[in-house]
Every structure is written in C-alpha cells, then in structure tokens.
Amino acid sequence: MVTRPNPLAADLDHVLAHTVGLWEDLRGQRIFITGGTGFFGCWLLESFAWANDRLGLGATALVLTRDPAAFARKAPHLASHPAIRFHSGDVRSFDLPSGHFAHVIHAATDGDLKLMAADPLAVFDINVLGTRRVLEFARQCGAANFLFTSSGAVYGRQPPDLAQLAEDYRGAPDPTDAQSAYGAAGEEKRAAETLCALYARQHGLKTKIARCFSFVGPYLPLDGKFAVGNFIRDALRGGPIRIGGDGTPVRSYLYAADLAIWLWTILLRGTAGRPYNVGAEEAVSIAGLAQATARAVQPPVAVEIARQPAPGAAAERYVPSTRRAQAELGLAQWVMLDEALRRTLAWGREAA
C-alpha cells in the first residue's frame, strides 16, 4: 500500500520550526484533548502527530469525541495514527479516563447555528458545564497544564474607534441579549474563564487561556458561519463570491499553522491565569477579504455585495491586539493573509 504524502507537510514543518524545544515537555507523556475533531482540534492533532513522529517523542493523545466513526471518515490518517486514541462521550458527562495525563487541552465548543437557534440552553451547557467537567478531570489526573480555548467574544462589541482589543479591555457582551448567538457565546466563554480562575485558586491547577479571534486554513468549514470559509467555497465553485451584508465589518485572520504554534506555545510556556489574545493584527474589511479571495484564484472571480453601507455608519470591528503574546512568548503572524488564502484554496481543491 502506497502512503499518500501529507498535503500539509510544509505547514507542519513550519509549526515544528517555530516550536523548537516545546515538544520535550510531551516526551513519553499522555495528553487529553477535547474538541479534537473540529477545526482547532485537527490542527492540534496534525501537529502533534507530526512532531511525535519526527522527534520520536513516544507521546500519546486521547481525544474526546461524540462520534469516532465520523472523524475516521473525515481524517482517516489521524484516526488511525498509533499515537492517537479516542474516548467516546459528551463533554458534559463523559466518563473520566484513568491514569495520569501531563496536559489537558479543552478546545470543545458547539458553535452550530442550528443548535444555537433551536436549543441555546444546550449550547450554554456544552460550553460551561463541559468546561467544569474537563477542569475536574484535569484536577483528578494531575495535569501540569490546562489550556482553555476561549474567544475574543468575551470582550463584547468592540467600539468602532478602538483599533484593537487588548487583554485588559473591560468590555463585555450584553447578558440580556439571548437572541444573539455571538453575544451568548461570549457570555459562555466568560463563565468558562471564571471556572478556570476558580480551579486555579482552589486547586492550584495551572490554567492557560487563549482568547481566539478569526482564522483561515485547511479544515475550516466551507459551508457554515465563517465568512472566509464561504468565500473560499464560492471561489472554488468559480464565483461569484457573495457578501450577504454591506462588506464593511473589519476582521483579521490568523493562518491555521500559526494558530497551532500559538496554542502549543501558550499551553507549555504561557503564564498561568494570564489570558492571551490569539489572532492577527492585519485588519481587513469583509469586502476586502472577498476581493483578496477573488484575486487568489485564476482567473479572478466576481464579488457581489448585497447592499450598500448606511451613510455615516461606523464599521463594526473585531481585531485583537497581540502585543502580549508577541512580547512574552515570541509569537507572531508568520503567514500573511494573501498567502493564507492561497494555501487554503489549494487545500480545498485537493480535498474536493
């Protein structure tokens, strides 16, 4: 049987080059990952398996999932990797695995728009009760580090005159806005972060918090709530790229390989109890993002914007300051947006 080369090899070598020295903390150890079958989780598992094989770490990862068979169809090379095992269960109620785990990564969340609309209380429970369950497991298994992937949504709406959100910004979502899935997600993440702080105080658990913003890269869903994923889908189909709004909101996008570098670094080198924004500072409007995606294919495709901006209206922003991660952990955005789009489009063609 001929082994198919990993199409992410160059990206995974990039991750390895920027995480030199970190992996020794995993040598011979077991780690536990929730959310390991989603976008973040696939990159954590890809980079973990890559480092494990190339550095001979002898580490193993146990991944919590509700549907191991579905993941085996999605990523068979990861599902069959000898260092990766699966633990079936719901994040809110899973049976706690036995034995010691050196590190726990809690990346599970449920941002499914249909579930948010149909049963927002279930989504709240998944994010809050699930975090409590995983924290309790980390305490019992003696984990040296616990990484929680939070969200920039904890800051609430970014003032239009504030260029970037820093970790000390004291804004917050409106807790009475139950109809806003995005705002609700922020409240859930805020509650989960509080649980992390309580477990750190009461049990001495070294909790690390990554407040994640917007991302692009292989494994990102191309038919869902992410504008950049939908734009890439439209471009791969030959266009046009359709913008449902007026194109004025401003975002920034960190490439998935850089994301993996940031998450592993925060887990293993971040200061406990100190949140770090995870994202890019290279701001772009949604219209600009669509145009950049259109230019990344040949021939370029058309872009259609549903409506004109309201006169005098300020553009909504969602852009982090990453100075803390840069200064304290030496992190950076190494792959710029145009190149990130090109690589993601190439992945999409390969996966089609």
pLDDT tens digits for range 230-281:
999 999 999 999 999 999 999 999 999 999 999 999 999 999 999 999 999 9
CA separation for the pair 348, 227 (Å, rounded): 15
| Separation of alpha carbons 191 and 213, rounded Å | 18
Q: Residue 63: pLDDT band by 50, 70, 90 thresholds?
A: very high
| Torsion sign across C-alpha atoms 108, 53, 103, 141 | positive
> Of the given ranges (119-128, 182-191, 195-204, 320-329), which has the lowest mean pLDDT?
182-191
Q: pTM for this one?
A: 0.95
**What would the pLDDT profile of 302-349 be if each residue is shown by its tens digit?**
999 999 999 989 999 999 999 999 999 999 999 999 999 999 999 999
Domains of the chain, residue spans: 9-219+253-281+319-335
For 10-21, the pLDDT digits (tens) are: 999 999 999 999
Measure Cα distances from 294 to 284, 290, 336, 352 in Å.
14, 6, 16, 18
CB atoms within 10 A of CB 127: 24
| Distances 118 to 112, 123, 173 between C-alpha atoms, Å | 10, 10, 21
Tokens of 175: 């807790």
Does pLDDT of 120 surpass 80? no
According to the model, what pLDDT value does residue 210 have?
98
Query: Mean of the pLDDT values across residues 183-205?
Result: 90
Give me Rg for the CA atoms of the chain. 20
pLDDT band at 162; cut points 50, 70, 90: very high
% residues pLDDT > 90 (the chain): 85
pLDDT at 114 over 70: no
Domain 9-219+253-281+319-335 of CATH type 3.40.50.720: yes
Burial of 289 (0-12, 13-18, 19+ CB in 10 A): buried
Report the distance separating Cα 193 and Cα 79, nearest Å. 30
pLDDT bracket for residue 119 (50, 70, 90) = confident
pLDDT value at residue 181: 45
Pick from 120, 97, 77: nearest CA to 32 = 97
pLDDT for 352 beyond 80: no
pLDDT above 90 (res 178): no
The three-state secondary structure class of 351 is helix
Q: Of 121 and 80, which is predicted with more confidence?
A: 80
Q: What is the pLDDT of residue 236?
A: 97
Q: Which two tokens stand for residue 342?
A: 């090109």
pLDDT value at position 36?
92
Q: Do residues 215 and 253 lie in contact, with contact meaning Cβ atoms separated by under 8 Å?
A: yes
* Residue that wins the pLDDT comparison between 186 and 27: 27
Residues near 338 by beta carbon (within 8 Å), at least 6 away in sequence: 292, 295, 296
Does residue 183 register a pLDDT over 50?
Answer: no
C-alpha 258/C-alpha 322 separation (Å) is: 13
Read off the pLDDT band of 186 (50, 70, 90). confident
pLDDT at residue 4 in the model:
73
pLDDT reading at 291 higher than 70 = yes
Mean pLDDT over 195-211 rounds to 97
The predicted pLDDT at position 2 comes to: 46
- Which residues, 6 or more positions from 234, have their beta carbon under 8 angstroms from its beta carbon? 240, 241, 242, 293, 301
**pLDDT cut 70: percent of the chain above it:** 95
